[in-house]
Structure 1
Amino acid sequence: MARESQRVKLKGWEEENQGRGRTLFITSLALLIVLIVVLSWAAFQLYAGKPSPRNASSPHSTPVQNTHIPTSTITNATPLPQVTPPRRDSTMAYDPLHHLVLLFGGTIEAADVQQTNETWAWNGHGWKQLHPASSPPALQGTMVYDAASQRVILFLYQVQSAGKVANEMWSWDGTTWQQLYPATMPAVVGASMAYDEAQHEIVLFGGGVPSGRTVTMVNTTWTWDGMNWRQQYPATSPAPRAGAAMTYDAVRQQIILYGGTGDGSGVSSVASETWTWDGTNWQQHNGAGVPFQDQNVHLVYDSVTRQMLLFGAISSDATWAWNGTRWVCVTAHGAPTAPFQGASVYNDAAQSVIVYAAQGDSKMGTTPVPQTWIWSGTAWKLLP
């Protein structure tokens, strides 16, 4: 009987242990399922918070409605209606990683004319001055977004004594500026610069080489691969010039260049020429029409209407579009006139062209007034 009783007790213990084991297994399995669900949700939220690689790398990609805007340096700042005080000869670029338009530098007319190295940003609602830890010097230049390195690249013109050019390059990472030190640097001022999305490189053309009080125009073509500048030697090139309007045509996958000044005295024979760059050679488009014969007009690609827009003449407020063969007038009136005193760029986040200009000239008896213009795709609007 004692042995039988012991067997019963052992059997009971075994059944009890098996029950506990099943309970522990079911509990562990449930916890594992909950852990998998939590990790999956966290991974989804992390991925959703990142900008699309396509939209981040190219400001001319097909516009996508943004459901999540990353925190930028001006998200919680109170924007101003205009960049103040007004300045001319600024340069602008759109930063798709941080969804804002960046404006750098310019010439301020105060008690005397002075250059500024201020950095401003437009977040779609207003302007806000940024205060980066490091800033470029107060020099004129040109600026584009380099999709290959996902940085805004600033090329500054600096003329030293005896006409020696010592240009500088800087990059913007969304928070501050960092100087770049390429082994080779184009020694020109007033050059035109654009990013070639098809070739994944920045193209810089023309400009002038100062010598004493004169400037000799050049027609050299340079490309930036993210590390260094390399001079190109195309079979055909535009005539020497500075201040030409140049940007990338995403529809035809080529850079287009319009106008410029070839003799340093204003309007010249090159002011109405149209050229395209295919990554290897330049081609002139004769018979394309002559929208303007003014220097320093503006050329911007509109991603929504997929049009190359030309505007900003001194003598005309019309807006023209490039169809690949000819220039076609899309609006006869309404465009900002003579915005060579400011800068323009396509704002991909807002799907519109933005122009900053300082209208007026104190030398002509008119006080400069800051202006911000927006192109909606069909008409221009001057913001209050």
Structure 2
Amino acid sequence: MNADWIQLETPDSPSPRANTAITYDEVLRNVVLFGGFSASHGGHSDTWKFDGANWTEVHPIQRPTERATNNLRWCPCREQLVVVTGVKFSPTGGHHPITGQRVWSEHNLGDTWIFDGENWQELRQSQYPNYVHQASATDFQSGRVIVFGGIVAGPKTVIGVFVPRDRRESPLVDDTWIFDGGVWRQLHLVTRPTHRQFAAMSSHPGERGVLLFGGHGGEGKPHLLDDTWIFDGENWQELHPSTSPSPREEACMTYDSMNGQVVLFGGRGDSEYLGDTWVLVLDE
């Protein structure tokens, strides 16, 4: 199979950044991008749409505060997009003595916002998954957004980039939350993945629920994980494939509907960034 990346020259586009939320709007049929972080600017709070050829900035009356997050998901129950919390960076006024980069403090925001294609609306609730670095995906079978794991919020000083938090600073969690378009609900399950952050999670439309792989955590001293789990909307079940990707965190994973398989790429291993590609096919 031959493949080529094509760089698009667009008249307008979001400014350079990383740790940006992006997903596909199933109703409006376009890609939506929100926020992100750059070492020179800090957090962003702008919203953009991409129609396959051009970017257009949206200027809603209200919007989430500037943040870095990858938890923007399509919620079928509501037929809108939902962004789950995020991290705000504030300048400390200092600079790194060697690199000269600005030093930022990191704070969890702990909020939920809905985007209808034109405007953002905050959902104020007493209970929600108030963590950072959690995994999330859309469960097309139940029409809900699933969130798992993460680390309890707490201030941390960083230098222009995301860094893994140590469990000695803030505890990792093994909580499962579901969002049905109206409220968050935590499930108290006996069988579930161990505590972790930076896990990969993907929907599996037409099959069953969502899949989760790896992350940084485990019981006791945190370490990189290589386990595979499936969530059917009510319960977690660990899968035991004969071959698996190596232990890793921060990998990306998505569902390939054309070929009926889940694709996992890259991530970070013990001492290096990874560039390998894996597919997972579930047998009925």
Common fold by TM > 0.5: yes
Out of 244, 247, 252, which is 2:207 matched to? 252
Alpha carbons of structure 1 residues 202 and 296: separation in structure 2 relative to 1, 3 Å: same
Out of 141, 145, 152, which is 1:198 matched to? 141
In structure 2, the partner of 1:304 is 258
What is the Cα deviation at residue 246 of structure 1?
A: 0.8
In structure 2, the partner of 1:209 is 152
In structure 2, the partner of 1:229 is 184
What is the Cα deviation at residue 212 of structure 1?
A: 5.8
> What's the % identity of the aligned pairs?
28
In structure 2, the partner of 1:103 is 33
Q: Aligned AA for 1:101? A: V
Name the CA distance, whole Å, in 2 between partners of 1:178 and 1:212: 26
Larger radius of gyration: 1
Alpha carbons of structure 1 residues 124 and 292: separation in structure 2 relative to 1, 3 Å: farther
Secondary structure of the equivalent of 2:215? coil
Q: Aligned AA for 1:202? A: V
- Structure 2 residues not aligned, in runs of 5+: 1-8, 90-105, 157-168
Looking at secondary structure, tell me which structure has more helix per residue: 1
In structure 1, the partner of 2:235 is 281
Q: Deviations over 1:16-71 (max 9, x none)?
A: xxxxxxxxxxxxxxxxxxxxxxxxxxxxxxxxxxxxxxxxxxxxxxxxxxxxxxxx
In structure 2, the partner of 1:94 is 24
Name the CA distance, whole Å, in 2 between partners of 1:118 and 1:166: 17
Report if the CA contact (8 A) 2:85-2:109 is conserved: no
- Structure 1 residues not aligned, in runs of 5+: 1-78, 326-384
Out of 142, 151, 162, which is 2:80 matched to? 151
What is the Cα deviation at residue 236 of structure 1?
A: 0.6
Alpha carbons of structure 1 residues 274 and 144: separation in structure 2 relative to 1, 3 Å: same
2:130 matches 1:187: yes
Looking at secondary structure, tell me which structure has more strand per residue: 2
Report if the CA contact (8 A) 2:108-2:154 is conserved: no
Q: Deviations over 1:224-244 (max 9, x none)?
A: 122211110122111101121
Alpha carbons of structure 1 residues 312 and 120: separation in structure 2 relative to 1, 3 Å: farther
TM-score (norm 1): 0.57
TM-score (norm 2): 0.76
What is the Cα deviation at residue 269 of structure 1?
A: 3.6
Q: Deviations over 1:353-372 (max 9, x none)?
A: xxxxxxxxxxxxxxxxxxxx
Give the alignment of 1:1-384 within 5 angstroms.
Answer: 80=10, 83-110=13-40, 114-141=42-69, 142-157=71-86, 166-211=109-154, 214-262=169-217, 268-270=223-225, 272-314=226-268, 315-324=273-282
Q: Deviations over 1:202-234 (max 9, x none)?
A: 111101013465221000011112221111012
What is the Cα deviation at residue 282 of structure 1?
A: 1.1
What is the Cα deviation at residue 83 of structure 1?
A: 4.4
What is the Cα deviation at residue 254 of structure 1?
A: 2.0
RMSD: 2.8
Secondary structure of the equivalent of 2:245? coil
Report if the CA contact (8 A) 1:182-1:227 is conserved: no
